Amino acid sequence: MRRLLLLAMATGLTACATQPKQETAPVDAAPLSLIPMPAQVQRAPGHYRLDAMTTINVAPGDTQAKHVAAQLQGWIRQARGITPAIVEGKGKSGISLATVSSIKGREAYTLDVGANGVRIAANAETGLFYGAVTYWQLLTDPAAQNGVPAVHIVDAPRFEWRGLMLDSSRHFQSVSDIEHLLDQMAMHKLNTFHWHLTDDQGWRLQIEKYPKLTETGACRKAVGPDIALTGGADTPYCGFYTKDEAKQIVAYAAERHITVVPEIEMPGHAQAAVASYPKFGAGSKKLAVSSDWGVNTALYNVDDGTFTFLQDVLDEVMDIFPSTYIHVGGDEAAKDEWERSKTVQAKMKSLGITDEEKMQGWFIARIGTYLDKHGRRLIGWDEILDGDVPASATVMSWRGTEGAIKAANAGHDVVMAPSPTLYLDRLQSTLPDEPPGRPSGQSLRTIYDFDPVPKEIAGANAHHVLGAQVTVFSEYIPTWSRTQHVIFPRIAALAERTWSPKADWNDFVARLPAQMSRYRAAGIVPADGAFAVAIATEEAPGHKAKVTLSNQTGYGTVRYTTDGSAPTAQSTAYTGPFDVDLPSTVRANAFEGGFGLAGPRDREIDAKSLLRRTSDELDMCGDKLVLRLESPNAVDGVRPVYKVDIMDTCWIWKGAKLDGRYGLSVTVDRLPYNYALWKDVKGIVSRKSRSAAGELEVHQDTCDGPKLATIPLAKAKDGRATLDGILPKREGTHDLCFVITGKPGPKMWVLGDVQLR
């Protein structure tokens, strides 16, 4: 598979030059780094070593086996530098691929490795492919330094839907980026690529009958960090896939036994389409493609002309995508325009429909009937349950698991995709070098612990759970490097929970380092936050600081240095909090088997740093809608990231030691406020300000406590600045609450860091 570069350097593997005689050695007990873990694994004595004479053998006329043989040949060449010949018939020594009818299940396979060769058997090409993937993993496992250990594997997946959703509407990915992702999905045995192609912020698929969908709908005004992507505020953010490009992706996925399920949002999340063709919208205002994240209120109309438009679109979608399922969205459809529309209200009255939620049900049912007539099945987000939907409709549950429970118990098939658990735009660690995103953390462990079958689904209905998927909504993921960061390695946790019959977290974590090496060899830069060391500090007596080290998984031995040198496998092992003299630089990493599990993290500690807090280190005053946002403007080549509740600009420094300290410096910045909050806008906290620019107020103990300082924000001149203030002398330890007066929009002030002096 392309991009799966040589793994020998990553894992220290070498190809042996000779084929040994039958071994009588004991069973190799070295753990196997397979992800997902197969259903049944039995170890046996001996190893199989590749050499220049190795062949891949298939039965004459077995085209399915021959196809997989060609794929496996490429993987072996890239992993070991050997290109085994493909032989139709029995070779002298090698790897055999066989299609046999006795193995049940299209994705099932058996894999046998012995001293004399390898045999992969399945009743279909898909099973052979997955067996070849497992053999490739064995081949690229550190346990295979002396050859692949002998093993007998009987394997089949737990669930039929093992997926990943990628949002290409909010931010656009190139065809090559998506192909790179499909490569990795295949090597995790994921089989469903849910492609989110339309939304308020962009229509990304060419529809020949309606060219304005991409002429107009594929571009939006660049706001915030998107300006860096376009090169200027006057250059719009654009991108779409031609029909040929979409077909190329479908074909590329099919080669890897992945089905592409397209999503065309309706009746809401429709602003890009309505901006392109206003006559199909339910509102009276002329709209532009949205540059605001959140819940926009544009809805499709409900007249026959609009349904003709949608059916025409679906005809072209079905021509591109042969998938059984067509995803129609159905989520977050704000009903304001329908409530105000005389046309929609008249239609509801004629149908005898009493409320707008039931009207959405009628809308979705009409689309479902159209898809049924064309041999396709409708799938939508769990809001489609709010009205009558076809019995054949499948529900994708995102508002927690409640929708799936309701749907499965009512006889609908369901796919689990609950927020926040399986939402990869949620940050996976609290490390300060995490990129922007939603900070309600969904760690590797959080995803691994998720069981796709809730106990509330009756046993007789459990079969309705088709599987699960992770979702990558891309508001805060503008680049391919950021996309890699949020997906890898959390994709491995989802893969194991949807494939393997049982879960073992500790065993999974022990298998992950080899998988991280595979990622890097394939050109993927994964997030290492599961293993990276967090460094926490606090003041200690005697001009010292107390340092606490930890890593998220607890796997490996944490080692550190205090002289600024890079930690190694021989550095001091961390056994508990320790004191350092000021100033010091602490660097740390976790090690296993002599290798660092992550990039080393460091922290410079001096008297000043102990009296400084970044917005990441401050608590929020509430949890209305907390985000980590990136500034559109770079500082020394890097765009700063700020944690802020966009509905309540308020931060708390817990337990500030104020004895004899009265100076205060705060860094503030001004960011665009491009959020569509719909009814939640009523929850925005507004504080009375003395001036148009507003002020930063500092309160003692609580946010309603004594006001210690007021710093005018006009001094910042509508941008990033460090402002000074003075606190009245206080004794002891107090919480400090920092609030910004006024109300956000169209820009908002954010707090960067606070320095006490």
Locate all alpha helices (DSSP H) within 269-423, ordered by sequence: 271-276, 304-320, 336-340, 342-351, 356-373, 402-409
User: How far is it, in rounded angstroms, from Cα 32 to Cα 24?
Assistant: 20
Q: Is the peptide bond before 36 cis (omega within 30 degrees of 0)?
A: yes
Residue 640 is inside which H or E element, if any?
Answer: none
C-alpha angle 666-669-672 in degrees, rounded to nearest 5: 155
Strands 219-220 vs 202-203: parallel, antiparallel or unpaired = unpaired
* Spatial distance between the Cα atoms of 11 and 61, rounded to a whole number of angstroms: 37
Beta bridge partners of 238: 219
CA–CA dist 121, 125 (Å, integer):
10
| Residue 79, SS3 per DSSP | helix
Q: Which of 747, 662, 663 lies closest to 713, judged by CA?
A: 747
User: CA 629 to CA 672: how far, in whole Å?
Assistant: 10
Q: Active-site residue among 171, 196, 269, 327?
A: 269
Known catalytic residue at 269: yes
For 391, the token pair is 């019995």
Please indicate whether residue 543 is annotated as part of the active site: no
How far apart are the C-alpha atoms of 178 and 487, rounded to whole Å?
Answer: 13
Report yes or no: 291 and 676 within 8 Å, Cβ to Cβ.
no
* Residue 77: Cβ within 10 Å count: 14
Residue in the structure block whose two tokens are 């992706």: 249
Q: From CA 666, how far away is CA 735, in angstroms rounded?
A: 16
SS3 percent helix, strand, coil of the chain, rounded to 5, is 30, 30, 40
DSSP 28: P
Task: Measure the CA–CA gap between 104 and 156, rounded to whole angstroms.
Answer: 9
Say which DSSP state 478 is in: -
Q: 3-class SS at 658?
A: coil
CA dist list (Å): 198 to 216, 249, 374, 472: 13, 17, 22, 14
Q: Is 4 exposed, middle or buried (0-12, 13-18, 19+ CB in 10 A)?
A: buried
**Which strand (E) or helix (H) includes residue 312?**
helix 304-320
Residue 159, strand partner residues:
none
CA–CA gap between residue 342 and residue 284 (Å, rounded)? 11
C-alpha to C-alpha distance for 365 and 323, rounded to whole angstroms: 19
Three-state secondary structure call for residue 229: helix
Active-site residue flag, 332: yes
- Active site residue: 28, 141, 199, 528, which one? 199
Alpha carbons 643 and 627: distance in angstroms, whole number: 6
Tokens encoding 566 = 């890079």
Q: Which of 112, 125, 332, 528 is catalytic?
A: 332
Kindly list the catalytic residues: 199, 269, 332
